[in-house]
Structure 1
Amino acid sequence: MIEAIDFRNAMSLLATAVNIITTKGVSGVHGFTASAVCSVTDTPPTLLVCMNQAARSHDYFIQNKILSVNVLGAQHEAISNAFASKLNSEERFEYGSWTELATGAPILEEALVSFDCEIEDIQQVGTHSVFMCRVVAIKHAEPQDATDEGLIYFNRNYHQVGQVEIV
């Protein structure tokens, strides 16, 4: 049997993009930092987002049934840290500039790209909920907000990677 700590240590060596996941609706506005995000299919455009069921905002995401995935650039470490901290929701959203697309979930204006989604299905797997999210709108960074590098998390540290070319 694989111990949880051994699995976490192994997964720390899987480089992942850093994202801010947000929601807004009847339960209010909430957000958290996540690396467990991936594409499922492009027809229809669908993302998978994993969230710990013990997270204080978990039930709010389920109630609101919408979320946005905001992919962070190299300049967004402070925003990532704020959304991973014990700050309350209001304090977290003081970091960055926010707007909305189709669903009303907060979109980070200077994110590399933001995916505005409706949560279509939720699966409980161990300690986490897996949200299957249909993408209803996409916003790319404006050229003046574009960065040359993305923010990734690898070996329990932030790193910068690549050059983003905005077309």
Structure 2
Amino acid sequence: MLKSSVAVDRLVFREAMSHFAASVCLVTTDGHAGRRGVTVTSVCSVSDDPPTILVCLNQKSGANTRFDHNGVFAVNLLASRNEAVARAFSGEGNLELEARFAAGRWTTLSTGVPILEDALVSFDCRVIDSRPVATHRVLIGEVLAVAKPIGGDSLLYRARRYHTL
């Protein structure tokens, strides 16, 4: 096995990664630490027995500690109709954290975490593992409930732009 002795520049890596087309998700939490939501593309299924999802959150934002402290989160898979919500929760417009929730309509499932009513589908999760990896925190959640899927086109992110599929 060959090992590289040259480190890949982080900006070169970021540019290369921007060419991955990824589903846009809104990850939310609520509880004693407070409500929080963040737009992400780093979500994937881990297992279906038990149903488990993995999410990566940037540790740069101190508000992201709310996910760990609350111990619950939801993954809302966004439709093209949810682009304004994605933009609000990604920080566009410099809205206060709580004001971002005005961009959508919300309900809850089993954990009380905000579920976006018109997302393509939402997964309500309990944190079963959390660990730092480089600049991010990896949350692994057991899926406790799934919102009924709703039709629509998927919202994707590629080359630093939103796209529809």
TM-score by length of 1: 0.91
3-state SS, counterpart of residue 10 of structure 1? helix
Superposed counterparts of 1:113-152, under 5 Å: 113-142=121-150, 146-147=151-152, 149-152=153-156
3-state SS, counterpart of residue 19 of structure 2? coil
Determine what percentage of the aligned residue pairs are the same residue. Answer: 43
Tell me the residue number matched to 1:164: none
Q: Displacement, 1:55?
A: 1.4
Tell me the residue number matched to 2:3: none
Higher strand share: 1
Q: Displacement, 1:140?
A: 2.4
CA RMSD of aligned residues (A): 1.0
Kindly provide the amino acid, as one letter, of the partner of residue 79 in structure 1: V
3-state SS, counterpart of residue 69 of structure 2? helix
Give structure 1 regions of 4+ aligned residues with deviation exceeding 2 angstroms: none
Where do 5+ consecutive residues of structure 2 fail to align?
A: 1-6
Tell me the residue number matched to 1:52: 58
Distance 1:150 1:56 in 2: 30
Q: 1:24 aligns with which of 16, 19, 30?
A: 30
3-state SS, counterpart of residue 74 of structure 2? strand
Verify the 8 A CA contact 1:66 1:119 in the aligned structure 2. yes
Note if 1:12 corresponds to 2:18.
yes
Tell me the residue number matched to 1:108: 116
Q: 1:160 aligns with which of 135, 155, 164?
A: 164
Where do 5+ consecutive residues of structure 1 fail to align?
A: 162-167
| Equivalenced residues, count | 157
Verify the 8 A CA contact 2:31 2:70 in the aligned structure 1. yes
Verify the 8 A CA contact 1:111 1:140 in the aligned structure 2. no
TM-score by length of 2: 0.92
